[in-house]
Amino acid sequence: MGSYIVRRILIAVPLLLTISFLTFILINLSPLDPAEVVLQAQGVPEITEDLLKQTKEQLGMDKPFILQYFDWLYATLQLDFGDSYINNKPVWSLIGPAFLNTFKLTLVSSISIILISIILGVICALNEGKILDKSVRGFSFFLTAMPSYWLASIMIWYISVKLDLLPTSGMESYKSYILPVIIITISYAGIYFRNVRTSMLNNLHEDYVLYGRASGLSEWKITKHILRNSLQVAISIFGMSIPIILGSTVVIENVFAWPGLGTLSVKAILSRDFPIIQAYVLILAASFVLFNTISDIINAAMNPKLRNDL
What pLDDT, on a 0 to 100 scale, did the predictor assign at position 307? 61
CATH 1.10.3720.10 residue ranges for the chain: 96-271
What pLDDT, on a 0 to 100 scale, did the predictor assign at position 42? 66
pTM value? Answer: 0.79
Task: Give per-residue pLDDT as tens, 62-111.
Answer: 778 888 888 888 888 888 888 887 778 888 888 889 889 988 888 898 88
The residue with greater pLDDT, 264 or 301, is 264
Task: Give per-residue pLDDT as tens, 228-266.
Answer: 777 766 677 777 777 888 877 888 888 888 888 888 888
Binned at pLDDT 50, 70 and 90, residue 302 comes out as: low
Distance CA 252, CA 258 (A): 8
CATH number for the region 96-271 comes to 1.10.3720.10
What pLDDT, on a 0 to 100 scale, did the predictor assign at position 306? 61
Going from the C-alpha of 218 to that of each of 39, 109, 210, 258, the distances in angstroms are: 73, 34, 12, 48
Report phi then psi at 179, rounded to 5: -65, -50
The residue with greater pLDDT, 124 or 218, is 124
| C-beta of residue 76 within 8 angstroms of C-beta of residue 95 | no
Going from the C-alpha of 195 to that of each of 148, 164, 188, 189, 202, the distances in angstroms are: 21, 37, 11, 10, 11
Distance CA 34, CA 49 (A): 13
What residues does 90 pair with on adjacent strands? 83
| C-beta of residue 180 within 8 angstroms of C-beta of residue 252 | yes
What pLDDT, on a 0 to 100 scale, did the predictor assign at position 188? 84
Task: Give per-residue pLDDT as tens, 8-67.
Answer: 778 888 888 888 888 888 766 766 677 777 777 666 767 777 777 887 777 777 778 888
